[in-house]
Amino acid sequence: MADIAPVLKAVVPAAGLGTRFLPATKATPKEMLPIVDKPAIQYVVEEAVDAGLTDVLMVTGRSKRSIEDHFDRAYELEEALRAKGDDERLEAVHESSDLAIMHYVRQGEPRGLGHAVHCARQHVGREPFAVLLGDDMIDARDKLLQRMIEVRGQHGGSVIALMEVEPDQVSAYGCAAIEATDEEDVVRISDLVEKPAAEEAPSNWIIIGRYVCDPAVFDVLEKTPPGRGGEIQLTDALRTLADMPADQGGGVYGVKFRGRRYDTGNKLEYLRTVVQFAAERPDLAPEFLPWLREFVRTQDGVGDTTDS
């Protein structure tokens, strides 16, 4: 096999309208909603950096300027904190602006994830790259992205993250037909279907929001027509890549992920994520957990509409 180029860049699509969280997202990007005291998008960038990807391109849209501001310096705030001697909060403010080399490009109109990824073409060039979706947060203790980059280094092509779900959940995700390899957590992808009906799904293994893409994906995306929902789907492009020869950037592999994933794309899962993160914070848990236990105890039966 020819030398496989290293993965050095990350692309983070963040141009969605966040309609599930209205009215909060009318003026505030969904990606900036806090997980306790840190916006969700920062956790995603931290994951990329932890995997060695310090060149990060954010694909944004209108009304997303606060994302750029968050990862930029805030001189007046820094001076105010410095004057107060508040070194702890000053360090927290510096943390976001020193994380990575951040770049930004706007997706002019919401035409799907595939179109958002294609917006990164000029920045990425002919290099492989990772795609991290802001709705999916992977626990920092589970090194999924590092494993995906490792698999790309072994096999070439593109790599997607997979998670097993119950059959009635597959219709909300892209779903993969898989073939076993010599490694228990690595499969070869033979087909991909975007949001299939449960009875039409090729497996219970869904695509979650982590990808490592060969640059050949850009040529494919350019020719990919709108699919489900009238949008250009990254899943459709990867399906094409799965059938292409390796010397043309083809081949798609999957990494079976059984770790901790947090879905912040809907209100219920977002609330669960906030509670989980707060419960594991050493500065909050000693007071938060006793309160939470008492609150749950007092809520027993509240909202229960079942017959007694």
pTM: 0.91
Neighbours of 38 (CB within 10 A): 15
Mean pLDDT of 116-139: 95
Please provide residue 111's backbone torsions phi and psi, each rounded to the nearest 5 degrees.
-115, 20
Neighbours of 263 (CB within 10 A): 15
Per-residue pLDDT tens digits for 200-221:
888 999 999 999 999 999 999 9
9-265: CATH topology is Spore Coat Polysaccharide Biosynthesis Protein SpsA; Chain A (3.90.550)
Confidence check: pLDDT of 247 > 70: yes
Q: Residue 229, Cα to own-chain centre: how many angstroms?
A: 20
Confidence check: pLDDT of 152 > 60: yes
- pLDDT reported for residue 218: 97
- Between CA 298 and CA 301 the distance in angstroms is 9
Please give the angle made by the CA atoms of 104, 109 and 113, to the nearest 5 degrees.
75
Report the candidate in 213, 220, 256, 261 with the shortest Cα–Cα distance to residue 237.
Answer: 220
Mean pLDDT of 190-209: 88
Please give the angle made by the CA atoms of 283, 288 and 289, to the nearest 5 degrees.
110
Cβ–Cβ under 8 Å, residues 19 and 47 = no
Report the candidate in 53, 54, 7, 25 with the shortest Cα–Cα distance to residue 135.
Answer: 25
Domain residue spans of the chain: 9-265, 266-303
- Between CA 261 and CA 162 the distance in angstroms is 11
Cβ neighbours of residue 223 under 8 Å, at least 6 residues apart? none
